[in-house]
Amino acid sequence: MQEVQKLQPNSLDDWLPLTASRNGNTFSTVFHIVSSGIGIQALFLPVGFATLGWTWGIICLLTAFAWQIYTIWLLVHLAEPVPGTRYSRYMQVAKAAFGPKLAKSLCVFPVWYLSGGTCIMLIITAGADLETLYKIMCGGIATCEAKSLPGVVWCLLFICIAIVVSQLLPNLNSVLKFSKTGTVTAVVYVTLLWALTIRKGHNLVLEIQGTLPSSKFNPSSQKMWRAVKISYMTIGMCSFPLALTGYWAYGNKVTAKEGLLSVFSQVHGHDTSRGAMGSIYLLQIINCLCQFQIYAMPAFDSLEFRYIFKKQQQCPRRVRAAYRFFFTGLISLLSVAFPFFPSLAPFMGGLTLPFKFSYPCLMYNLIKKPDQSGTLWWLNLGLGCFGIILSVMLVVATFWNLVTKGVHANFFSP
């Protein structure tokens, strides 16, 4: 199979962005995971409590967190299922488990959505944050705020910066400096946000593991799992207080459209210093820029793979630049044309939920083949089936919500 890497030095993987450098370590992996794991999605955690209440909200949050860590453990150990074979991409594991045709039908859309869709969300969020930061710095001066640029221009400004940065990062390991920055900014602004609130009242696991060296006696799974434990301890320490304090302080005010930061600005913006408010927005903008580089890398990798597989040679710099301009330009057009995309996120999330919670369980049973009379086999089968059922229920519920409440389709008007 063309995607399976046989741990030979001269393979296609040596030329692809995700695996060109395998000099990573536990330290670098922690930064990649935390940077991609904490971000704008954390600001919407209180939404679940508004629907479920305290008891069921906490139970569901803890269950989802534990389920996610378990599926990550499965993926980490599926990266090298047998000696001499290594998978560095989710699609490779899916093809080994389900077969090429079924794997493509199940995983192509989630892979591209979780890469491109996340980048679109980051562009829309960062564009709005840039505009808000400008108004905060104006300090309420009418003439200053009147000169604010249109929303489209703020999005394009962020896009231009993201394009320039992406051209300087040939592979995933080269993103380490940005992962460090993204981790620091995410932890700081999330902590600052919930601290101020109290005062006031799986998709990249295998790709990140692909940056680690591996040998027969020291497989990459050991370092990766160590990094996962450290990373998710950090993510939990940031996310849980944010979810709890956000719901405690604002209740039902935090919605799928209005994240915690927007609600905080509305409620406490008048009695919070411009420096504090500006710092939070600036940190989130920097975090969006850093996350963009990580989430865009699988798309860059997929585009370059087609060239390398066809030409059987390394992708020239000009071709790589063209591919990255193409991808960034495409998602830029989509983000400006469909600024209401975040309103569709719950529906799209329901479609991709099995990708994160179900498929790893089923793939582990198909590849590792644990004893069918054992607990592990039945646990994976049960979780896999339950995740698919949950996905169907979520898709139906969110679709019905869109039909009954509608969507404010503000095309080309961020």
Token reading at 114: 């979780």
Among 35-44, 193-202, 383-392, where is mean pLDDT lowest? 193-202
Domain ranges of the chain: 12-405
Token reading at 12: 């296609």
pLDDT for position 204:
81
Distance set, CA 185 to CA 67, 261, 285, 288, 380 (Å): 27, 15, 9, 10, 36
pLDDT value at 246 more than 50: yes
pLDDT for position 8:
43
Token reading at 306: 């087609």
Residue 52 or residue 316, greater confidence: 316
CATH homologous superfamily for the domain 12-405:
Hydantoin permease (1.10.4160.10)
pLDDT in tens, 13-57: 788 888 888 888 888 888 888 888 877 777 778 877 877 788 888
Report the range out of 60-64, 262-266, 310-314, 338-342 with the highest average pLDDT: 60-64
Among 43-52, 152-161, 279-288, where is mean pLDDT lowest? 43-52
Task: Answer for the pair 78, 265: CB distance below 8 angstroms, yes or no.
Answer: no
Buried b (16+ CB within 10 A) or exposed e, 244-281: bbbbebbeebbeeebbbbbbbbebbeeebeeeebbbbb
pLDDT for position 382:
96
pTM for this one? 0.88
Buried b (16+ CB within 10 A) or exposed e, 92-105: bbbbbbbeeeebee
pLDDT band, residue 98 (cuts 50/70/90): very high
pLDDT band, residue 199 (cuts 50/70/90): very low
Q: Read off the pLDDT of each residue in 349-368 and give the average, rounded to a whole number.
A: 92
In angstroms, the CA 211 to CA 128 distance is: 33
Proportion of the chain in helix, strand, coil states, percent, rounded to 5 = 80, 0, 20
